[in-house]
Structure formats: structure tokens, C-alpha cells
Amino acid sequence: MTIGVISAMDSEHRQLAERLQEKKVTGDGNFRYAEGMLGGNRLVLTQCGIGKVSAAVGAAELIRRFAPDCVVSTGVAGGIDACLKVTDVVVSESLAYHDVWCGEGNEYGQVQGFPAVYKGCVPLLEHALSLNNTGLESRIHGGLVCTGDRFITDRTELDVIKHRFPAGLAVDMESAAIAQTCYLYGIPFLSFRIVSDTPGVEDHSSQYADFWGTMAERSFLTTWTFLSTLPDKL
């Protein structure tokens, strides 16, 4: 099958693209793609840029050009639950916006006319969770991913999100926007996010920087393991 893989940042995209087999680079302008084979599947990787608009446009253009059988969002996220530690992985059982309010008659986080919560693709989710039985160093957790256009380092803001979304495990700036786009196109979707910082520390910015300095390359092997072991159909 053809799997579209969307990353926000160059560091995330590059580590995956370097490992593709039979790789070729296509596209033009702001839309560039690394195509290649992995484990019997065709992967199309793209770097969308940071934030909800960039993520939605990047997902739509990927779907329009390549008609993937599914889409996976990879990268990092901030943890908002005490069960998580740095380098753990959160995969999206569900996804919601933490910065949307459309008024009475809508749930907090719901774009009017759309679901309040988007569901992750069950076969992709189950495959990800099955990797917990293979001896991986990182623990993979299924749960709610909350998305908004803010890089959040303030503990109070994180607490507010957790209060509004008690089931929330992680926050990022892209996943729910890609989920909404895939919902519109009818494409199965999963967010696969490595935890770069966690609740319970005073300086989230330093913890995030430490992750990129010492742990990022090792932890992205978990993402690679997930992608390389996917079946050839859902």
C-alpha cells in the first residue's frame, strides 16, 4: 500500500527520508516529497511545516497528488499526563483541538459542523500498540492527542488543557488538523508522536532542548520500526 508520512520539522523528516530504499525526490515549490520503499510498502514523505494551516495544506496536497491508502503524522509532542516519560510514544486513539471555541451548541474544541473528536485508524493503532511486545525501549500509549497553534511551555496552560480534556495524553501543533483533512477525504489516519517533554518539570523548554540534543535520533528508531513493520494492506 501507499503510506503518506507527514512531518512538521526538517529534523523529523530528514531522519526518515535518509532510510528509504529506492528513494527519489519529487515535487515543486513548497511541496517536496521523498518517495521510496520500506518493508513492501511505498512511502511518500513530506515536511509540511509547523502549525495547523501548514499541516492541513500539506495533508491535502499529499492526498491530491498521491492518493495514499493511509496517512501517518510523525514527530514529537509534549506530554500532559503523568504516565508518560520522555521518549515514550503517544498514538492517536482520538484527536481534538484544544484552542477552538465555536460558541454554544458546540463542545469545546469542536469546529462547528465537524466531529468534536476525530478517531485514529484502528488497524494502524493496533499495530502500533502491538510493538510493546517486541522489546522496544520506548513505551507506546494509545490515547487522546490535543492540537493547537501554540508551543506550550507554561505549566498553567498545560494544566488548563488537561482539565478541559482529562483523557488527553499529549499536545502538538499539527495532528488534529491532519485528522480533519483526512476525515474530509475519507483517508485513514494515525498520529505517532514521540514525547519530548513531560508534566512535572519546571523548565519545559530545557527538557525539550535536551531531548533534541541527546535522545532524538535513538527515539526516532521507534517510528522507523513502526513504519517498516506495517502490513501491505489495512
Catalytic residues: 12, 197
How many angstroms separate the Cα of 100 from the Cα of each of 125, 161, 212, 233? 26, 12, 29, 35
Find, among 25, 69, 47, 87, the residue nearest to 182 by Cα: 69
Q: Are 90 and 170 in contact (CB under 8 A)?
A: yes
State the virtual CA torsion across 180, 225, 123, 3 in degrees, nearest 10.
50
Cα 197 to Cα 230: distance, rounded to the nearest angstrom: 27
Q: What sign has the CA pseudo-torsion 81, 14, 29, 44?
A: negative
Q: Which three cell numbers stand for residue 164?
A: 478541559
Give the orientation angle of helix 175-185 with respect to helix 52-66, to 10 degrees.
Answer: 40
Centroid of chain to Cα 45: 13
Q: Are 143 and 193 in contact (CB under 8 A)?
A: no
Classified as helix, coil or strand, 233 is coil
End-to-end Cα spacing for the chain:
8
Q: Are 197 and 151 in contact (CB under 8 A)?
A: no
